């Protein structure tokens, strides 16, 4: 087999893409996996058996219904999408973010978001040729409202992302700050589309979904991943039909496969089970936060998500010591200067939380 010439790669592939690293997912085999904000609970055995029967009847030889009408209707009902609003489905939130960037990629267009935040806002903007503007949070990870408003006025972004709660910090931004930014983006300071990303809404129980009808420039984006369905890759975005109609034009055909649709429809029929699991994780979050806060030299930040952000004396060293003890969390200390020596740990079952705490305490004492 002949080797690919580097000069050919240089000629074909964009400079900025060649300079990037691929999105890395670490190997978690044999480890307690607490790095990806997954729900640790599966469906109960009886429901898994029913789901298996449902999936066995899916016509794998046929393309999906392109509009996924049944799934969209079920989501609108179960997730209480306001009357008159429409939803768009994506292969996870990542694809929805990519669609937004693609649809808004006019020459010179910009995307603005607080940082540190979800990395895909910036990555998708770069892929689509948009400039990304990051506005630093305060040291306590709250929104710097004044700085946000100034940057909005200076940059006139096409899209503004507000993660609610924020990832990787876990906190809900102040309601008054959020309200002022959305209003300012609706013509007072700039004319921008505001996307409130509620990926962790099951653990926050606060939402902008009921306010969709109040703002013509607002979309609310969610995922079923954190509810316990990370493996089926389903995200959805709600808003005015006028916005959804335009964004639907850049949606890949058949982007929601038949197994994802069937699984999601089944799970939404039993959403009470998923809600109960979320309630258990909220309870475990409080217990784990208190245990961590009691340790000397450890700072635990407030969280309304299914993970905790913690600061230690040496994040890299603590991370490696945890891996050596078969526990995998996320070292976020190099993502942004505000995250210096910070680690992010997913809240899990009482058993896995206990395993983490035992390994964590030992790692601090080495």
Q: Quick one: which of 162, 103, 101 has its CA closest to 132?
A: 101
pLDDT tens-place string over residues 168-196: 999 999 999 999 999 999 999 999 999 99
Q: In what order do the strands lie in the sheet with 330-331?
A: 299-300, 307-311, 342-346, 330-331
Q: Does residue 95 or residue 23 have the better pLDDT?
A: 95
Which band of pLDDT confidence, cut at 50, 70 and 90, is reported for residue 22? Answer: confident
* Tokens encoding 145: 């409202």
Evaluate if residue 41 carries a pLDDT over 90.
Answer: yes
pLDDT of res. 2: 75
* Tokens encoding 14: 């964009």
Task: Report percent pLDDT > 90 for the chain.
Answer: 88
Please give the helix or strand (H or E) that residue 277 lies within, else none: helix 271-293
Q: Which of 1-5, 165-169, 290-294, 306-310 comes out lowest in average pLDDT?
A: 1-5
Q: Which of 1-10, 113-122, 193-202, 232-241 comes out lowest in average pLDDT?
A: 1-10
Q: Quick one: which of 344, 352, 354 has its CA closest to 165?
A: 344
Q: Alpha-carbon dihedral of residues 226, 360, 310, 196, nearest 10 degrees?
A: -10
Domains (range + CATH), the chain? 9-44+272-359 (3.90.1150.10), 63-269 (3.40.640.10)
pLDDT tens-place string over residues 303-341: 999 999 999 999 999 999 999 999 999 999 999 999 999
pLDDT tens-place string over residues 222-255: 998 888 889 999 999 999 999 999 999 999 999 9
Can you give the pTM of this predicted structure? 0.94
Evaluate if residue 128 carries a pLDDT over 80.
Answer: yes
pLDDT of res. 366: 74
pLDDT of res. 7: 87
Average pLDDT, the chain: 95
Sequence-distant (6+) residues with CB within 8 A of 2 are none
pLDDT of res. 4: 82
pLDDT tens-place string over residues 56-93: 999 999 999 888 999 999 999 999 999 999 999 999 99
Task: Report percent pLDDT > 70 for the chain.
Answer: 100
Burial class (CB in 10 A: 0-12, 13-18, 19+), 13: exposed
């Amino acid at each position: 087999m002949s080797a690919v010439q580097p000069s050919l790669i240089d000629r074909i592939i964009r400079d900025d893409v060649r300079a990037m690293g691929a999105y890395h997912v670490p190997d978690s085999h044999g480890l307690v996996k607490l790095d990806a904000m997954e729900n640790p609970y599966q469906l109960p055995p009886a429901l898994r058996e029913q789901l298996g029967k449902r999936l066995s009847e899916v016509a794998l030889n046929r393309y999906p219904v392109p509009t996924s009408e049944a799934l969209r209707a079920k989501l609108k009902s179960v997730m209480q999408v306001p009357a008159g609003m429409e939803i768009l489905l994506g292969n996870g939130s990542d694809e929805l973010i990519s669609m937004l960037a693609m649809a808004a990629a006019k020459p010179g267009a910009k995307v603005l978001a607080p940082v540190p935040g979800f990395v895909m806002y910036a990555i998708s903007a770069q892929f689509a040729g948009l400039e990304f503007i990051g506005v630093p949070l305060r040291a306590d990870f709250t929104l710097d409202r004044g700085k946000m408003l100034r940057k909005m006025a200076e940059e006139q972004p096409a899209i503004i992302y507000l993660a609610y709660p924020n990832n990787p910090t876990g906190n809900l931004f102040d309601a008054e700050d959020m309200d002022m930014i959305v209003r300012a983006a609706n013509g007072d300071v700039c004319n921008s589309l505001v996307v409130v990303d509620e990926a962790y809404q099951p653990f926050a129980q606060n939402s902008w979904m009921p306010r969709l009808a109040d703002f013509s420039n607002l979309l609310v984006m969610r995922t079923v991943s954190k509810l316990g369905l990370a493996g089926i890759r389903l995200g959805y975005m709600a808003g005015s039909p006028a916005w959804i109609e335009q964004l639907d034009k850049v949606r890949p055909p058949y982007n929601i496969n038949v197994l994802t649709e069937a699984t999601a429809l089944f799970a939404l029929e039993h959403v009470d089970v998923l809600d109960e699991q979320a309630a258990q994780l909220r309870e475990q979050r409080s217990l784990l936060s208190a245990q961590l806060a009691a340790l000397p030299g450890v700072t635990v930040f407030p969280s309304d998500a299914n993970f905790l952000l913690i600061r230690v004396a040496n994040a890299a060293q603590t991370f490696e010591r945890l891996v050596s003890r078969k526990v995998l969390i996320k070292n976020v200390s190099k993502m942004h200067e505000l995250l210096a020596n910070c680690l992010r740990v997913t809240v899990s079952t009482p058993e896995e939380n206990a395993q983490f705490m035992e390994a964590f305490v030992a790692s601090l004492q080495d």
